[in-house]
Structures are given as C-alpha cells and as structure tokens.
Structure 1
C-alpha cells in the first residue's frame, strides 16, 4: 500500500491532527498512550513509510550509542570500553557493546544496522579493511578509531587517529638507546590494523639507527590478542636459536606471554634481553619486572571520540559536515623490563 500515503492520510484515519502524527513519529510533544496507539495502528494499516531523512523530520532519539570492538578479552579494549562509559562526555547516553570476534560479517552487520536502533557508533575496525567498510553506506554518525585512509576524506566519517607508528618508533628507539642492536619483534602484521602500523614504526627506528632489518627476527602471530600467542612466538624464537638482545612485542598481552617463557627458560630480563610492549594495559605495571610500554592515552581517545560523535548527533543532518580527524599522541613508559631506571609510583 504505502504509496501516496501522507501524514495527513494517517491523521485522518487516526482522527488526530498532522502535528500529533508528527509528534508520535518523532517522539516530541505530549500525547496520551491511547493517541499513540491509534496513530501507530493507522501507520501500520496504511503502510505509511516514514522517511528518516525527510528534511526537518527528527527521527526518534534513542540516546544510545554502539561501541564496536574486536573482542573484550584483550585488556586494551576492555579498558577503552570502561573509559568510554565513564567519560563525562558520555553522561546521559547508554552504551551498547558489540564484540565482533574479528568476524567480518558481524562488523558489517553492526555498521549497516537500522539507524533507528542507535544514534551513533564508535568503531574499531579489525576484520574489515578501509576498502570494505568505506563502501558501506554511512547511516548515522560514526567515529572510527585508527588510521584515517586517504579515501575517507570525502565521507562524513570522523576519525580518532592513534599513534601506533610513532609510539612503536619511540619504544624501539628506546631499546636502541640502551645499546641493544638485535631487536626481535612479535606481532600480527596482516592488513590495515594497528599491527601493520607498529611494524612500520619498528622498521623506521631500526633504519634511523642504521641497523639492518632482519626478517628472521620478526615472528608473526595469528591472534595478537591472546596471551598464549606471546608464549608460542617466544618459544619459537628460542627454538630457532635466534641471537637477540631485545624483544619488542606489538602489545602488552603478547609481551607478558613472552616474558613468562623467557623467565622459565632462564633468560634474564633485562640483562640478557630487554623487553618492551605496547598499550600500557594495567597488567604491564604489575609484570615482573614491570613492562616498558607505550601509552596511547585511552582516556583522551574516549573523550575525543564521544565529543566528535555527540557534535554530529546534534545536527539536523549529520552528513552536512565533512569528515574530521583528531590525532591523539602517546607517552613512552620506560620501566625495568628494558633496564630503565625505576620511576616513581604511577
């Protein structure tokens, strides 16, 4: 049916004014539950299609945002989710967590879900590369956490860029400054993820110090979010009898797994092997020895993402504003695992 049915037709059927129909559809104004029922019944009967993008039509606000993460077993994501929920900017919003388990179809489903379900999305790409998610229609305000691809500039997507490459370059530079020259690396390097950017930073730091890149010292893991990946990769390094005096892990989860293997194998950290991770998860401070790492400033990421999202959610049509990009820096956290002098508490 739906064809040629207008708000006026619905109003006549429900015996109310068009203003009341508009109020019910948009969740504005006041009306009784009976009136709402009559209007909704008329909409269903007549098959009235609500056009969410009709000018001036404010669709019903849900005050809910979706947070789309690869998983919650990686403490970095769990701690980031906490920060997003606790940020003062999030006051008054509900946060729905989606854990996509690195599955491309799940990521796609959440991104293309009905815009009526949530008012905005904060998205950490994992299985989908930019060429995949950029081709999906942007149906509501969306903030992407990670590197902004060149072809995203025309879209109304906002980015919070994390300092993966710069942070990796700094922490590997720190290992080099401790006199280490054979620096092994463990991490996932596939696709457009943070791992690939951290590998670029590792290579840049070596090049800067005039140290040749040695492929045999770089161990790739399938799932860098599992503690066991660090265990497996460090075991492989030791079995290969590779000569290395430092080890850079692309995240702290892998670093703590690797540390347990080194310790069990009688390799002394940091005197035999200086060790560094990335992310500064809470466990890094309590490792033995405490782990040198890179802090991506989760709290700033959270505040910035929600601020960008809210500013778009408040617009009549969020697509009127071209995409924006905010870069969040990093802090190097030298600790005992790389032979750094112990710093004070915190």
Structure 2
C-alpha cells in the first residue's frame, strides 16, 4: 500500500479509502490510485488485513452435501444475494456427520470466518444448543423453544405448512389414498413435513393409514425415491396420490411408476417439495412446494451481517424469520398449466 501511495503521490490513508470505498477523495485522485494499483499489480491480502481488523470478510455456509440440487441451488442464492456483497462465501459440507457439524460450530473456525449459516442434519437442537457460541450464527430450520433465550438467529423453512398445502391440494383433486415417501425422524425436516401431511388428512376427515407411509434413510438420493416407491408397489396397498419429501425423491419415484405402467397423474397424482430446477423438466412437470430459496438466502445473510456488525454479537437477542412458501401446481397432479395456487408470506 505504501508503494501504491508513493506511485500515486498520495497518502496510504487515501489509498485505503479508495480501495475500501470509504472517506472522501476526488475522481482524479481515485483515477491515480487505481492506475497505480493496476500498474503495480497490487492485491489486498485478506489474511494480513484480518490480523489487524480481526475480520476475514468471509462467511461459511455449512450444508449436509451439495449433490442434493436444493442445497446446491441454495448455495448459489447465498453467494449471489445482494446482502452478501463484499463477503466471500466458503461452502463446507458435513456429510451428515455429527462430529463435522460440531467442528464448524466450535472454536476451530473462529479465526477463519466471521460468521456461519448452518443447516443441521446430524445434530438435534439438544446436541448443538449447549455448544459454546464462538461466532455469529444463523440456523436454517425450525426454531426450538429452548433457543428463545440464546443469541442465535433462525430462518425457518415452511416444512409443515408447505407439506400441508401440497397434501390439501391432492385432496382437493379428489384423491383419498395419499401415500407419503418421507424421512420420519424428528426434529428434522422430514418429521415436520410428515406432520403437515397428517394435519392435512385430519383437516379433510381422512383417516391416517400407516401402511401408506414409506420411510427412507437418505432422501437426498434419487435412488431413495425409486427404492421407496418400489417397496410401496410391492405391498400392493392401493394409493391414488403420492406426496414426496422432496423433488429428488419425487422424480426418482416418477421413473419407477412409469416403468410399472402407473400413469401420472391419471392413476396417481404426484407432489414433491423444494421446486428444484429439474422439477419443471420432469415428465410430467412436477407439482411442488417452493420454499423460496432466494428469500431464505437473503434473510439469512441479512441476519448474519447485522450480528457480525454488532460490537458484541452475543448482546443481540435471538431472532427468527420465515421465508414462506409457494405451492406450484403442475401437470403431475392433474393441473393443465404451471400455476402458483397458494402462498404464505
């Protein structure tokens, strides 16, 4: 920076102002500084700057994996969000491993990033809430009651509400034997979506039938949906609709239904969750719940930045926001066109 200042004939403070967009300087001064920067090939060293400022300008997005399309598309939205401007995003995958999830929430990351957006998978709230809070953290998922007094922010995904809307839509098509392919473990998203499924049946006066619910260990794999619906078909239990935990499961199931001569939507109406890009290109296009990834990303980064900017991030009370959802009706559930029919702000 001193070399740039000497070349441009200005002070090092002026160079810092121009590079960081702070303070005041004339257009002519800015031109001289930027010309010197380009001529000298000057680059900011974020690690050296971090030693002085105690900030790295980097946040971590912690996901179970990136082979699930929803996770990859969410990461892209976080990176592209206007609220992320000026920050670098490091994407770290935990592979559903509890120890890896504990590590990213512990002091091992304190010197590397300024804050964390965390999607729990292996850890329950009872597991992660007692961990020492070492950096600003936003969690994507349902806020448990025991987190109310902690300095943790949440962006809730409308798992139960979205599932309720999707199953209510299937019921409105006259379907009464609605099967579900779903991860069932609480307190993860599968448990919440199954609650929405059961609540929609109850609201419509349709009895819950456990034989229509097929559980899965890993709903992030296309093969899981294919295997689950194959098991359902082998039971020979009659069903006229299928609600799937996510679009990956739904598209995997769709392929097996087609191979077995089950017409969608004539024989079985089908709905998924996530509104990944592939849902629009399935045959037929998939009815699905859009959890509004862009809104999730923007809200999460906004909450994180405000906590990172606080003098003491622990002094801010925990906050909770929701991205809402949109039910996108497509031809897999008898609709003739792509139409968003239900939304929650």
TM-score w.r.t. the length of structure 2 is 0.82
Is the 1:58–1:316 contact (alpha carbons within 8 Å) kept by the matching residues of 2? no
**Structure 1 residue 163, shift from structure 2 partner:** 0.5
Structure 1 unaligned spans of 5+: 1-39, 41-56
1:239 counterpart = 2:230 = no
Equivalent residue number for residue 116 of structure 2: 121
Q: Judge conservation of contact 1:188–1:195 (CA < 8 Å) in 2.
A: yes
The answer for the alignment partner of 1:68 in structure 2 is: 62
Cα deviation, 1:268-307, whole Å, max 9, x if unaligned, reads: 0000000000000000000000000000000000000000
Q: Does 1:133 align with 2:135?
A: no
Q: Which residue of 1 aligns with 2:300?
A: 305
Give the conservation status (yes or no) of the 8 Å contact 2:271–2:333: yes
Partner of 1:111: 105
Say if 2:219 and 2:249, in contact at 8 Å, map to a contact too.
Answer: yes
Distance in 2 (CA, whole Å) between partners of 1:283 and 1:114 is: 34
Note the C-alpha offset of 1:64: 0.4
Q: Aligned partners of 1:151 and 1:335: how far apart in 2?
A: 39
Aligned-residue offset at 1:343: 2.9
1:209–1:150 CA distance, 2 compared to 1 (3 A): same
Change (3 A) 1:242 1:162: same
Which position in structure 2 is the counterpart of 1:272? 267
Give yes or no for contact 2:328–2:339 (8 Å, CA) kept in 1: no
Partner of 1:202: 197
Alignment counterpart, residue 142 of structure 1, candidates 120, 137, 143: 137
Displacement of 1:110 in angstroms is 0.8
Moved >2 Å (runs of 4+): none
- CA spacing shift, 1:344–1:217, aligned 2, 3 Å: closer
The answer as to whether partners of 2:151 and 2:318 remain within 8 angstroms in 1 is yes
Contact kept in structure 1, 2:166 and 2:288, CA below 8 Å:
yes
Answer yes or no: is 1:187 the counterpart of 2:182.
yes
Aligned to 1:324, which of 319, 324, 332? 319
Could you tell me how far 1:231 is from its partner in structure 2?
0.6
Cα distance, 1:154 vs. partner? 0.8
Provide the aligned length of Structure 1 versus Structure 2.
290
Segments of structure 2 that go 5 or more residues without pairing to the other structure are 1-47, 341-345
SS in 2 for 1:95: strand
Name the counterpart of 2:158.
163
TM-score w.r.t. the length of structure 1 is: 0.82
Match of residue 32 from structure 2: none
Q: Corresponding residue for 1:255? A: 250
1:342 aligns to 2:337 (yes or no): yes
- Quote the Cα distance in structure 2 between the aligned partners of 1:343 and 1:331: 12
What SS does the corresponding residue of 2:225 show, helix, strand or coil?
Answer: helix
**Offset of 1:224 from its aligned partner?**
0.4
Distance 1:81 1:242 in 2: 39
> 1: CA distance between counterparts of 2:315 and 2:276?
38
The residue that corresponds to 1:83 in the other structure is: 77
CA drift of 1:315 comes to 1.1
CA apart distance, 1:144: 0.2
Q: Is the contact between residue 59 and residue 116 of structure 1 (CA under 8 Å) also seen in structure 2?
A: no
